Amino acid sequence: MARNLQAKLPPTDSVRLFDINTAAAERLSHEMKTQQAGGATTSVTTSAADAAKDADTIITCLPEPQHVKSTYASILSSSLRPRPQPRLFIDHSTIDPSSSRSVASTIPSHLGSFVDAPMSGGVVGATAASLTFMLGAPSDLLPRIEPILLRMGKRVLHCGPQGSGLSAKLANNYLLAIQNIATAEAMNLGVKWGLDPKVLASVINISTGKCWASEVNNPVPGVIQGAPAGRDYKGGFGIGLMRKDLRLAVLAAKEAGARLELADRAGEVYEKAEGEERCKGRDFSVVYRWLGGEEK
């Protein structure tokens, strides 16, 4: 994402990078300077606060709510000075909406505005700049935010005020978590009955059972070319990330008073599957393997 952003910015702009993995940040900066002609200048900083101090736009992408809270606390405690135009703080982290709103409330209005923009598309989408962003922000900020996001992706979906992007992302991923398990169960069931998995998938994908988990990320090896199932479930959307998103969706649902009748059982399935070495660290469609599905 940083590489695509830097490449599409003019040379008069600059990108200041920070990551706790210093070697990765240094390597990325070197690649930007040596492998790409033009674009913004780049440098590696020693802290998030250092990266943010002279920036008009701060972009963060972190694993968990506590990381987002601590990062913004460090930025705001560093005597951050106002800019001629108030800053944009764009957070791409997938966290719960309440935590995101909590962070947003700590940003003084004279310093800028905090918006949430979780994305869909994974590593492949990040590399190809084809990500979809689900944006939670005031409407009057869209003209400033969209051009930035479209340097890293191809679609921006404005979901409403701050926090709405995360609500949309978690609702979608909750549905995906359930669909993935159901698809694995249905495919396993059909194969056990003697059906050719490609035939079964073709039936599902022109019928009412059609979904992304069956059509694009089918869990049976060899059914969909390029799907993680065909490469020992490596790559793709990690089962640990799905567990995290499911947990966040459940948390947000409880806060909203929304019933999720299948959530607890789905969480157990992903927890048990990830606990087995043959499934750990693999794409979440590996649930099919955990169920005992044939992988011929």
H-assigned helices in 1-121: 2-8, 22-35, 48-52, 65-76, 97-105
DSSP 274: H
Q: Go through the chain and tell me how many residues it has.
A: 296
Amino acid 133 reads: F
State the catalytic residue, choosing from 154, 169, 234, 296. Answer: 169
Classified as helix, coil or strand, 62 is coil
Is residue 153 within 8 Å of 119, Cβ to Cβ? yes
Ramachandran bin of 55, using left for φ above 0, alpha for ψ from -120 to 50, beta for the remaining angles = beta
CA distance 136 to 138: 7
Asked if residues 137 and 112 have their Cβ atoms less than 8 Å apart, the reply is: no
Distance between the two ends of the chain, CA-based, in angstroms? Answer: 37
Contact criterion met (CB below 8 Å) for 94 and 166:
yes
Are 123 and 3 a contacting pair, CB within 8 Å?
A: no
Q: How far apart are CA 15 and CA 256, in angstroms?
A: 38
Residue for token pair 């039936």 = 203
Q: DSSP class of residue 238?
A: B
In the three-class reduction of DSSP (H, G, I as helix; E, B as strand; rest coil), residue 14 is classed as strand
**169 tagged catalytic:** yes
Helix (H, G, I), strand (E, B) or coil at 270: helix
Residue numbers annotated as active site: 169
